[in-house]
């Protein structure tokens, strides 16, 4: 009976297992092998050891700057999106009139196709005929060059990222975390004389730290992997101002067809993501509170 159940379980999960092997595990192993080779699709892969990694870390003039720009983008986007999502979740948790309609309105940008949203924002942030600079001019402010400016290109992409992410899945996760806070604790704090801010700071915030931690990890991972917005709106420009690591990988893989080097770059990005995630888990014990956990 147990053998039969095991066989049935394997059969039921076999489509997922096959898909994982073919589309995830297989390409991962292949890219790891290719990262140690010189391979341009047209010729057989030639094993060169760690040369691709050495070139990336010591000779590639675009690799390390692209890492810096990616981290700069993430350092701007992640905190702002976290705060914005939490604020919206708190407002939507107040049982306002037409709460469902408000939730739908905030979530709609997430449903907009990424390409359409990027093209829309490219027009809105046009320094000459864009809507944003036009509105700024109406109040006497001269708008910057946005996507055509070296200084403002990444902040412009951050604005686009905030529009698409603040009211999305991160907000829903925060809302679920807020609704999971025991009302008895909030009522007890109110009886003890705690005001709105004291209840939030001393009761609500500690209890939703696991939710904050979860959103923080996902937010950093997605921010460091950003590609589509920069590719569609600026293609890495102007003057490499938005040349993120993902664009560098794409350029080497699908434009220069240096698949071996692109695989090495991908694994370096993977290592960076693993290290950052590990550090977050190590540091989380200092501020993340899990209900029922004994110190």
Per-residue pLDDT at 42: 85
Give the side-chain half-sphere CA count within 13 A for 119.
5
Instruction: Output the pTM of the full model.
Output: 0.91
Q: Which domains does the chain have, with CATH numbers?
A: 57-284 (1.10.3720.10)
How far is the C-alpha of 123 from the C-alpha of 294, rounded, in Å? 54
Q: Provide the token pair at 205.
A: 């915030």
Per-residue pLDDT at 285: 84
Per-residue pLDDT at 292: 57
Ranking 105-114, 223-232, 273-282 by mean pLDDT, the lowest is 105-114
The per-type count for the chain, helices as H runs and strands as E runs, is 16, 2
Band of residue 102 on the pLDDT scale cut at 50, 70, 90? confident
Please write the tens of the pLDDT for every residue from 139-186.
999 999 999 999 999 999 999 999 988 988 899 999 999 999 998 988
Per-residue pLDDT at 293: 58
């Amino acid at each position: 009976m147990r053998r039969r159940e095991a066989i049935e379980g394997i059969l039921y999960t076999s489509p997922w297992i096959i898909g994982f092997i073919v589309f995830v595990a297989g390409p991962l192993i292949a890219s790891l092998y290719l990262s140690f080779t010189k391979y341009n699709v047209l010729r057989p892969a030639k094993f060169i050891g760690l040369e691709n990694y050495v070139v990336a870390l010591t000779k590639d003039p675009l690799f390390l700057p692209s890492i810096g720009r990616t981290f700069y983008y993430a350092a701007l986007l992640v905190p702002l999106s976290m705060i914005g999502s939490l604020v919206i979740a708190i407002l939507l948790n107040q049982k306002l009139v037409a709460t469902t309609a408000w939730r739908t309105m905030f979530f709609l940008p997430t449903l907009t196709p990424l390409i359409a949203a990027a093209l829309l924002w490219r027009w809105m942030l046009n320094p000459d005929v864009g809507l944003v600079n036009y509105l700024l001019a109406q109040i006497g402010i001269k708008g910057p060059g946005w996507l055509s400016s070296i200084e403002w290109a990444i902040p412009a992409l951050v604005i686009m990222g905030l529009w698409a992410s603040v009211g999305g899945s991160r907000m829903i996760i925060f809302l679920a975390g807020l609704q999971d806070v025991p009302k008895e604790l909030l009522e007890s704090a109110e009886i003890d004389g705690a005001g709105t801010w004291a209840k939030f700071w001393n009761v609500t915030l500690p209890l939703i730290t696991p939710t904050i931690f979860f959103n923080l990890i996902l937010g950093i991972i997605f921010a460091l992997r950003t590609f589509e917005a920069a590719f569609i709106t600026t293609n890495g420009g102007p003057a490499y101002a938005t040349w993120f690591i993902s664009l560098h990988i794409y350029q080497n893989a699908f434009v220069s067809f240096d698949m071996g080097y692109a695989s090495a770059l991908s694994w370096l990005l993977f290592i960076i993501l693993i290290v950052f995630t590990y550090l977050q888990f190590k540091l989380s014990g200092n501020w993340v509170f899990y209900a029922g956990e004994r110190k």
